Amino acid sequence: MASAAPPSLSSLHQLSQALTKPAKLLDAAQFDFAPYQVTNITLDCQRPNAKTNYSCALDFTLHDPNSVRENNVTSCNCHHNWEWNGVNGSLRSTDWENPVAGYQLCWFDSTTFFKSSVPSFEHPGNFSVEVAHTYHDDE
């Protein structure tokens, strides 16, 4: 069985010169994602009488400026409902497994979806929202 001769130092040097002097070096990661935009936020908590819990509704518009135009959908409207006793913050586990309002699809088609949840709600001035957008990008 014959083995190939090892490359000469001269050919290795030429190869390394060619690799270290490409026409244009590019950064390995070229991602510069703009943040999602949440607008038109409406939070409404009402109760018909003092003996019942508040019924809370959250509506907002979610826009992803990073979505490629080919997806045809870059924004959508989201809606959540939950109950609140008006005194205590809504209980959730510390690992966020039990959100106040779980993930809801705001938009869905074969390649794209937006979804959101309300992981915690202490009172109308202190709550959190999680948003996600998944899409196919051929670029």
Annotated domain spans of the chain: 33-134
- Amino acid 122: pLDDT: 87
Which residue, 126, 124, 131, 123, is CA-closest to 103? 131
pLDDT for residue 90 = 65
Instruction: Let me know: does 79 contact 40? Beta carbons within 8 Å.
Output: no
Per-10-residue mean pLDDT of the chain, 139 residues long, equals 55 57 55 82 94 94 78 83 83 65 85 86 88 73
